[in-house]
Structure 1
Amino acid sequence: MLLASRLKHLLPPRMDVAFTERLRAAGGGLAGILMTALLARSLLNAGQPALIAPMGASAVLLFALPASPLAQPWSVLGGNMVSATVGMACALALGNTPLGAALALGLALLAMFALRCLHPPGGAIALTAVLGGPALHAQGFHFVLAPVGVNTALMLVAAVLYNRATGRDYPHRVAPAVSHGTKDPAPNQRLGFTHEDLDAVLHRYGQVLDVDREDLESLLHQAEMEAYRRRFGVIRCGDIMSRDVVTLEFGTPLQEAWNLLRRHRVKALPVIDRARRVIGIVTLVDFMKHAGLDRHEGWARQLRDFLRPDGLVHGTKPEVVGQIMTTGVHTATADTHIVELVPLLSDLGLHHIPIVDAEYRLVGMVTQSDLVAALYRGRLDEATGFEKAVA
């Protein structure tokens, strides 16, 4: 029992990875290796190996961990080729010896750190260059280009195609936060930890972290939101949304839409189809952008000219809402917790979120004002509950 308990502690924790993601990664590895081997066989000379073993390790990173800094294109291509260069140099200088193998790995690591292309399979490629035997040593530095360079380039092409086809962003990019061009941090970073706090912690940690810095920051912010949800209970969009929402249709004339915005003193109106499905949203910004109101000269005249129909059957000037509306609208459901709206209404700079049902039909609208009032009410209820507990 004691031995079993000790062995149990050696096992890593269970991986919380969905079964579909495991299948996706395995399918990617299969497709990547198969494509690389078949194409390399047709590109390389008959005496050269079509596929080298370390590409299996690269495939694991590229298809199972496509967001990892160790799996990005420069890390893969640079790491493999730099390591092959270092390994072949050690092989030609010291031969197939323990010292040659050790120096190849150590120098390859230093080179990858220096060039910011750390890629673990590079270590295996450096050793392959030393331990590959006379036939491989006879290739000299040609080994760096073929098969290493060819294999790596083909594997990268397979990774880009497969990951994007299966819904993974590769090369991995983090969408930039909406900025007003000032030094102020994003709204959700003015409380809680900041970029500088995370940088200071990572600096003190001082080790390789196999997760993108921006991804780590995003996960930590999501953990903060999860903690907020736990502390303040369940307040959903359906609890705070406006239900009597003024709407527009694709063919609503611009003058009518403008009049509705002014009459109801709102800054945005959703655009729906006959089934009440949201197909767009029209804001004051849309009017200003299409009417050219970013210029100060004749502002009132420009707006009147823009709203007035020109009467032409095939005119180029927008006449109805559908021609100026913003599509690709961010929406939420009535069951969505309000904390999930915070990044949309703060960092993305949105002011209105249409609330839809399971069939994407409009059921309400949540604004920044609604969210602020709900968060204030949640904090007030928390303070009241604390005072009662103390009393």
Structure 2
Amino acid sequence: MRIWHHLEPALPRFHAGEPLRAGLGALIGISLCVGLAYASATHGQASFYLVAPLGATAVLLFCVPNSPLAQPWSAVVGNISAALVALVAVWYIPGPMAIGIAVGAAITAMMFLRALHPPGGAVALLTALNPEAALAAGPWFALVPLGVATVALVLCATVYNRLTGRKYPFRLPKEEPAHAPRLGLSTDQLGELLERYNQSTNLGVADLGRLLAAAEAEAAQHRFDGTSCADVMTRDLITVGPKTSLKEAAQLLRKHRIKSLPVVEAGSTLRGVILQADLLGLIAAQDRPLARKQQARQTVADVMHSANRAVPHDLPVGVLLNRLAEEGSDVIPVVKARQLVGILTRTDIMRLLLQGADERAAA
């Protein structure tokens, strides 16, 4: 049974419609190359013709467009460099020995150029098996037909993949996002992880980042057994209105020993949040007469934070862990149909984390 298990398909089932999408893309791409070859022959340019490895290039470009092996540099430079190396091999090494040397040298060259493209191995093999046409064309064989046809396929794949919902070419942005949701790992660290497990040619850094982000979000949702924000939020709230004076807001914060006040309108509609830190900055400026006059006229609406930090009451609380840790949020309003129903603070999250800590330590 273990032997049969290793002989089973290694690929998961493709999403419905994906085989048709990829197949149709390859049909269009190869048909474009056929059209270019036919047009060239019609105008007396017999140097442009199709080579079999382009079919393998089409598989990568349309079936796995996110793969590092399918990116434009890999496809174009890989095919061209493999053809050039194979030409050198068959030119200087006569006989059957040139075949193996051409393929091995082509793979080595592609890896040195960081342009590994599996069809390039087929390009080298085809060139070594049938060297007459390649030798007759000379180094131009690598550019016409091979280079031009590969560029045509890449351009077609760029347009087709984007029109059908796949991003190609696929590269990481040059600047790291402010809060990359990937377990706190930077792009360089993700790359080092791929290098450590020798997976750089099988999986791109961007793909690994997306997988880790999805896994992190999924784990966060299940970490607290479906606990929602409504289950742990503080419900007994002290609130103020937008027209409440700053002096009155400061008195409420001091009296109840709290660090924030939700700002609501009639019907408990959330307008924003005012923090203790906001008022401390104003108090520090009281030594200036002009600042005191301005503060006397200011209301809560003038200094409150917007309500865009609010979260729905049924959101899994685990999703907020990164937000509290990375964004530095001290308080998060919880709403239900835009109505304030509670707030979540770091204290609420800490209380949840500490629940059952003794039992987990004993286990």
Counterpart-to-counterpart distance in 1, 2:143 and 2:103 = 19
Counterpart-to-counterpart distance in 2, 1:382 and 1:356 = 28
Asked which structure has the greater CA Rg, the reply is: 2
- Which residue of the partner structure matches residue 135 of structure 1? 133
Counterpart-to-counterpart distance in 1, 2:341 and 2:115 = 45
Q: 1:131: Cα distance to partner? A: 1.6
Return closer, same or farther for 1:149/1:13 CA change in 2, 3 Å cut-off. Answer: closer
For the 8 Å contact 2:86–2:102, the answer to whether it is kept is yes
Residue type of the partner of 1:36? C
Alignment of 1:190-209 (within 5 A): 201-206=193-198, 208-209=200-201
Return closer, same or farther for 1:88/1:201 CA change in 2, 3 Å cut-off. Answer: same
> Which residues of structure 2 form unaligned runs of 5+?
236-241, 250-259, 275-289, 295-305
Number of residues of Structure 1 aligned to a counterpart in Structure 2: 310
- Which residue of the partner structure matches residue 207 of structure 2? 215
Of 159-168 and 49-58, more deviation after overlay is shown by: 49-58
For the 8 Å contact 1:186–1:346, the answer to whether it is kept is no
**SS of match in other structure, 2:69:** helix
- Which residue of the partner structure matches residue 337 of structure 1? 316
Counterpart-to-counterpart distance in 2, 1:237 and 1:67 = 36
Residue type of the partner of 1:229? Q
Q: Determine if the alignment matches structure 1 residue 383 to structure 2 residue 357.
A: yes
For the 8 Å contact 2:224–2:318, the answer to whether it is kept is no
- Which residue of the partner structure matches residue 105 of structure 2? 107
Residue type of the partner of 2:218? E
Residue type of the partner of 1:71? A
Counterpart-to-counterpart distance in 2, 1:39 and 1:356 = 60
Query: Which of residues 215, 227, 234 is equivalent to 2:226?
Result: 234
Counterpart-to-counterpart distance in 2, 1:150 and 1:353 = 56
Deviations 1:245-294 (A, max 9, x none): xxxxxxxxxxxxx979x89988999xxxxxx9xxxx9999xxxxxxxxxx
TM-score normalized with structure 2 length: 0.66
Deviations 1:299-327 (A, max 9, x none): x99xx9xxxxxxxxxxxxxxxxxxxxx9x
Return closer, same or farther for 1:188/1:104 CA change in 2, 3 Å cut-off. Answer: closer
Residue type of the partner of 1:17? F
Residue type of the partner of 1:379? L
Counterpart-to-counterpart distance in 2, 1:356 and 1:166 = 37
**SS of match in other structure, 1:370:** strand
Residue type of the partner of 2:353? R
Counterpart-to-counterpart distance in 2, 1:334 and 1:228 = 16
Of 332-341 and 205-214, more deviation after overlay is shown by: 332-341
- Which residue of the partner structure matches residue 238 of structure 2? none
Counterpart-to-counterpart distance in 1, 2:150 and 2:347 = 54
> Which residues of structure 1 form unaligned runs of 5+?
180-184, 244-257, 270-275, 285-299, 305-325
- Which residue of the partner structure matches residue 39 of structure 2? 42
Q: 1:381: Cα distance to partner? A: 2.6
Return closer, same or farther for 1:168/1:364 CA change in 2, 3 Å cut-off. Answer: farther
Q: 1:145: Cα distance to partner? A: 1.0
Counterpart-to-counterpart distance in 2, 1:16 and 1:364 = 44
Deviations 1:119-141 (A, max 9, x none): 11111111122222423331111
Counterpart-to-counterpart distance in 2, 1:241 and 1:351 = 13
Deviations 1:316-349 (A, max 9, x none): xxxxxxxxxx9xx999876553444556776689
Q: 1:114: Cα distance to partner? A: 1.1
- Which residue of the partner structure matches residue 277 of structure 2? none
- Which residue of the partner structure matches residue 71 of structure 2? 72
